[in-house]
Amino acid sequence: MVYAGEILVRKDAGRIDEINARLKLESMPGTVGIAHTRWATHGAPTAVNAHPHTDCSGRIAIVHNGVIENYLALKKELLDLDHSLASRTDSEVIAHLVEEYLRRGEQLEQAFRRALQRLEGSYAVALVSSLSPEKILAARRDAPLIIGVGKGFNMLASDITALLDMTKEMVFLHDGDMVVLTASGYVVLRIDTGETVERQVKVVDLTAEMAEKQGYPHFMLKEIFEQPETLRNSLKLQTEYVDLLAELLDRGRTIFLLGAGTSYNACVTGSYLFSQLARLPTLPVIASEFIPNYGASIGVDTVILAVSQSGETADVLSALEYARMRACTILGITNTVGSTLTRVSRAYVLQNAGPEIGVAATKTFTSQVLVLAKIALRLARLRGKIAQYEIDEFNSWLSRIPQAVSEALTRVNEPVRRLAESKVVFILGRGVSYSTALEGRLKLMELSYIPCITYPAGESKHGPISVIESGIPVIFVAPPDEYRKLNIGSIMEMKARGAYTVVVGDALDQELKQLADYYIEMPKIHPLLSPTTYIIPFQLLAYYTAIVKGHDPDKPRNLAKSITVP
Ligand code: F6R
């Protein structure tokens, strides 16, 4: 808060209600203030890393949501200019940069704008200063920021849900906007040119609960449609941690990719990526089977990369504890900062997918695959298994994933009713698409409660094809890869036995299109990265099948979001 010519800061790490009870945030004096609940990306969730962050003089305080990608370079520059930075966050550099421009004689608003021009990455940032005690300065780029217009007051927030209890009149700031806010008004200007712009007030007629779901009837659907954005965030991983994981993986003699449920399925995708890109064989393993299957044979040269959205899954943690006692190297990929997995891992990477509320994992699966692909690429380079032009090419495929996922989200899914009426569904794939099939099966099964059978398509003749009879749906995951011809053979085989074949394949593959009873068109994508995009129709099919059958997609029966018992 800004009060009596000073900035008062209260902050801590922990649960919001406990911090509030301890620090009495609500009783802070003053009428101009900023606050932020930090979802840690850089630096652990500690009091010193909590927001707000202040400059050296204590005259400026900022809160920031997003990732400042060039913060290391900015931090070095500021340290060389004798600034002293207290935290390990990327955000703190913003306060000191503004201070630096003030030192050089700029006025506060201009200093803020100059500082913003130096930032690379994403931000919604708000600043208060004892130099201008009646104002809040704020700005956004690639992160949401909304003004709530009230009678006798104005507010800012990242999300309309935070404002709805106070006002329904909102101004949605555009990327590259900066705002100067007071209790009686606001001025919006462009960060790059400084020119002022008009932004319309919109009346948002939603309840807070509707707004939390952003107009979607369920969190699951919201999270499915959020994927282009979460994937863009996951693309902005801190490369130093990806490098560290790649180095430690490369030192192992035996490497396990360990997870449960969806996270295990991502491990299966990872094993194909590690093998095909980096020529590194790894063993994907279901967490609860790790000790019985491999416990007796692990040791100091074993590396385990554990994948867990929550970072708290009991089967994962007990496998890791067992492995730690035997001097294995533990690495982690998780979506949850401060989770047990982050504490037991020698090094970990955060997925940056944001909180997932729906019980069924959707956006966290695609982001896990993307993180694994980035590590695999790094490993390939480290091990000298890939030429520079191939690295560039693969990187450009990686950056196209969010767009491909957007396109996949527009595809209709007519077979829903047909699936909803089936007593069993087959989902088959070969190569990396086997992992897509595994995850497709899990989604369909946990939401529709229809038994699903998945195995690598080449296995049909070895037994399971005997189940096939007229009308049973068989869904093939068939991107245009080296298994295309074999897939055609498998589809014919199923058709000959009367199966109803659904094929998820490339939009331009006319031959497959003619062969399938129903064809789901996918955009062009590197076949090894296809799980990120080819899983989308399964997520949508699972969701709509649940709706048709009258199930709650956010809370499938017998399931919980985090399985903390073995
Ligand atoms: C499926 C699902 C579960 C989780 C599994 C592991 O939609 O959500 O199968 O994937 O319980 O959870 P994490 O990733 O938190 O270890």
Per-residue HEC secondary structure of 66-89 comes to: EEECCHHHHHHHHHHCCCCCCCCC
Does any ligand 1 atom lie closer than 6 A to the CB of residue 286?
no
Q: Give the residue whose CA is nearest to atom 3 of ligand 1.
A: 261
Q: Which of these, 409, 315, 403, lies nearest to 362 by C-alpha position?
A: 409
Atom of ligand 1 nearest to the CA of 359: 8
Question: Hey, CA dihedral for 186, 192, 196, 200, is it positive or negative?
Answer: negative
| pLDDT attached to residue 561 | 64
Q: Give the residue whose CA is nearest to atom 16 of ligand 1.
A: 308
Residue 174 Cα to ligand 1 middle (Å) = 36
Equal fold, 2-208 vs 412-548: no
Which of the residue ranges 166-180, 428-442, 543-557 has the most confident prediction, judged by mean pLDDT? 428-442
Q: Is the peptide bond before 473 cis (omega within 30 degrees of 0)?
A: no
Q: Residues 445-481: pLDDT tens digits?
A: 999 999 999 999 999 989 898 889 999 999 999 999 9
- Separation between Cα atoms, residue 422 and residue 417, nearest integer Å: 9
Does any ligand 1 atom lie closer than 6 A to the CB of residue 563?
yes
Where are the alpha helices (H) located in 327-453, listed in sequence order?
340-344, 363-382, 388-408, 416-420, 432-448
**Partners of residue 147 on adjacent β-strands:** 156, 171
Does any ligand 1 atom lie closer than 6 A to the CB of residue 221?
no
Does any ligand 1 atom lie closer than 6 A to the CB of residue 224?
no
Q: Which one of 2.60.40.10, 3.40.710.10, 3.40.50.10490, 3.40.190.10 gives the CATH number of domain 227-408?
A: 3.40.50.10490
| Structure token pair of residue 378 | 């790094």
- Separation between Cα atoms, residue 40 and residue 250, nearest integer Å: 28
Residues in the chain: 566
Residue 483 Cα to ligand 1 middle (Å) = 29
| pLDDT attached to residue 113 | 98
Asked if pLDDT for residue 515 goes beyond 60, the answer is: yes
Q: Which of these, 472, 476, 416, lies nearest to 447 by C-alpha position?
A: 416
Segment (H or E) for 566: none
Does any ligand 1 atom lie closer than 6 A to the CB of residue 262?
yes
Ligand 1, residues 218, 219, 262: which to mutate, most atoms within 8 A of Cβ?
Answer: 262
Asked if pLDDT for residue 566 goes beyond 70, the answer is: no
Domain 2-208 has CATH 3.30.200.20: no
**Partners of residue 149 on adjacent β-strands:** 154
Does any ligand 1 atom lie closer than 6 A to the CB of residue 520?
no
Does any ligand 1 atom lie closer than 6 A to the CB of residue 313?
yes
pLDDT band of 416, cuts 50, 70, 90: confident
Atom of ligand 1 nearest to the CA of 261: 9
Question: Hey, CA dihedral for 301, 302, 308, 311, is it positive or negative?
Answer: negative
Residue 561 Cα to ligand 1 middle (Å) = 7
| pLDDT attached to residue 154 | 97
* Cα Rg of the chain (Å, integer): 26
- What residue ranges do the domains of the chain occupy? 2-208, 227-408, 412-548
Residue 365 Cα to ligand 1 middle (Å) = 9
| Structure token pair of residue 548 | 């048709």
Which amino acid is located at 519 in the chain? Y
SS3 state of residue 163: coil
Kindly provide the b/e burial profile for residues 536-545, where b requires at least 16 CB atoms within 10 angstroms of the residue's own CB: bbbbbbbbbb
Does any ligand 1 atom lie closer than 6 A to the CB of residue 445?
no
Are the CB atoms for 422 and 449 separated by under 8 Å?
A: no
Q: Residues 183-231: pLDDT tens digits?
A: 999 999 999 999 999 998 988 776 666 667 778 999 999 999 999 999 9
Domain 412-548 has CATH 3.40.50.150: no
Does any ligand 1 atom lie closer than 6 A to the CB of residue 220?
no
List all residues 6 or more positions away from 27 whose beta carbon is below 8 Å from its beta carbon: none
pLDDT band of 565, cuts 50, 70, 90: low
Atom of ligand 1 nearest to the CA of 362: 7
β-pairing, 473-478 vs 500-506, is parallel
Asked if pLDDT for residue 111 goes beyond 90, the answer is: yes
Ligand 1, residues 264, 309, 342, 359: which to mutate, most atoms within 8 A of Cβ?
Answer: 309
Q: What does the pLDDT average to over 257-266?
A: 98
Segment (H or E) for 256: strand 254-259
Q: Give the residue whose CA is nearest to atom 11 of ligand 1.
A: 261
β-pairing, 146-149 vs 53-54, is unpaired
β-pairing, 452-456 vs 500-506, is unpaired
**Partners of residue 125 on adjacent β-strands:** 64, 139
Does any ligand 1 atom lie closer than 6 A to the CB of residue 310?
yes
pLDDT band of 359, cuts 50, 70, 90: confident
- Separation between Cα atoms, residue 340 and residue 394, nearest integer Å: 33
| pLDDT attached to residue 37 | 86
Angle formed by the axes of helices 314-325 and 287-294, to 10°? Answer: 30
Residue 417 Cα to ligand 1 middle (Å) = 27
Does any ligand 1 atom lie closer than 6 A to the CB of residue 351?
no
**Cβ atoms within 10 Å of 42's Cβ, excluding its own:** 17
List all residues 6 or more positions away from 419 whose beta carbon is below 8 Å from its beta carbon: 425, 444, 448, 450, 473, 541, 545
- Separation between Cα atoms, residue 5 and residue 130, nearest integer Å: 5
Q: What does the pLDDT average to over 482-487?
A: 96
Residue 260 Cα to ligand 1 middle (Å) = 6
Does any ligand 1 atom lie closer than 6 A to the CB of residue 368?
no
